[in-house]
Amino acid sequence: MRCVWVVGAFGLFAILIAQAGCAAAQTFDPALDEPELELPEPSSFDLGTVGQPDIASVDANDDEGLSGDLSAGRNNFSPLADLAADRFSGGQGHGSLLFGGYDLWRNGASLYGGFEWFGGGAAENGPVVRLMLSEALERYQAGRFTYINDISRASVLAGWRFKSGAFELKILAGPDLENRASMPDFREQRWRGTHGGVRIAVESWAEPTPETMLSSSFYATTVAGSYGARLAAGWRMFDAFWLGPEMSGSSDEFSRQTRIGIHLTGFEVAAMEWSAAAGYVRDSYGRSGIYSRLGASLRR
């Protein structure tokens, strides 16, 4: 199951390849992109004369400035500004999503990747299917021995997405597969080897105001009685990403973990969207430290 490391890295690798392809496709080649339309000579235009009614329709003084001649909106300088603001999703889904990333602290590391497909459009209710693979290494000290747990997970979840404006709710469920191995091998471990179960996931995204966001997620699986939740809030920064606090916790039959930190979400570079987080983590063994998380997604 250690090959899942390679599969988990597929998300980030494929995203980077797709971004390079998009950049190459947008390169301008004067020899290929030269317009074939032949424009008439300037002398062939009939400019005519400007009559008094035409001149009267122009505000020569422009007492109100440029914004006074434009319709009201979120940005008075250009109607394209509203288009750019709408494109800033900050985490909302489109037709499909390829994602990957890592999570790291001094006693554990994990790599994950997957694919998500939305049956509806970007602003519609509809079915959701998610495939996710992950590989994690966790270190524990027991007496004079240091154990390294190698945990491989795979799940296929299906459910429904509910959307209403800037609010989104996803409810998913499906089969869950997990394999645990220990180095050195601990044969009395209850969940040693491969086990199957059922996983559920509930995720939400909301923008109470144009400048704020709230996000939450919850998961639970019958394998090792594992469950976890995350809450995050954020403020729109430079109309480019969300920044704010996050808090999360997880538990299974072996340990519990609590985290509190700061996240950055929805930072777009070309076709890619990045997220990151860092903060303080503590578990039920009394261990603590700094965690970091980095993720990338490619939306279509």
Task: Note whether residue 208 is domain-resident.
Answer: yes
Range of the domain at 285: 4-22+88-299
Residue 22 is given by DSSP the state H
Task: Note whether residue 54 is domain-resident.
Answer: no
Q: How far apart are CA 238 and CA 27, in angstroms?
A: 27
Task: Note whether residue 76 is domain-resident.
Answer: no
pLDDT at 132 (0 to 100): 97
Question: Distance of CA 287 to CAs 81, 108, 185, 226, 254, Å?
Answer: 48, 11, 23, 20, 14
pLDDT at 145 (0 to 100): 80
pLDDT at 62 (0 to 100): 42
Residue whose pair of structure tokens reads 């505000």 in the numeric block: 59
How does pLDDT run across 124-157, given as a tens digit for each residue?
A: 789 999 999 999 999 988 777 888 889 999 999 9
Flag the least confident range among 83-97, 199-213, 275-289.
83-97
pLDDT at 192 (0 to 100): 79
How does pLDDT run across 16-57, given as a tens digit for each residue?
A: 444 444 444 444 444 444 444 454 554 444 544 444 444 333
pLDDT at 121 (0 to 100): 66
Task: Note whether residue 77 is domain-resident.
Answer: no
What CATH number is attached to the domain comprising 162? 2.40.160.40
Task: Note whether residue 112 is domain-resident.
Answer: yes
Q: How far apart are CA 192 and CA 20, in angstroms?
A: 42
Residue whose pair of structure tokens reads 């009614």 in the numeric block: 53
- 208: pLDDT confidence band, cut at 50, 70 and 90? very high
How does pLDDT run across 228-252, given as a tens digit for each residue?
A: 999 999 999 999 999 999 999 999 9
Percent of the chain, pLDDT > 70?
66
Q: How far apart are CA 201 and CA 174, in angstroms?
A: 9
Q: How far apart are CA 57 and CA 77, in angstroms?
A: 21
Task: Note whether residue 44 is domain-resident.
Answer: no
Instruction: Using only the alpha carbons of the chain, give its radius of gyration.
Output: 26
- The neighbouring-strand residues paired with 76 are none
Task: Note whether residue 281 is domain-resident.
Answer: yes
pLDDT at 183 (0 to 100): 81
Q: How far apart are CA 120 and CA 116, in angstroms?
A: 12
Q: What are phi and psi for residue 159, nearest 5 degrees?
A: -175, -145
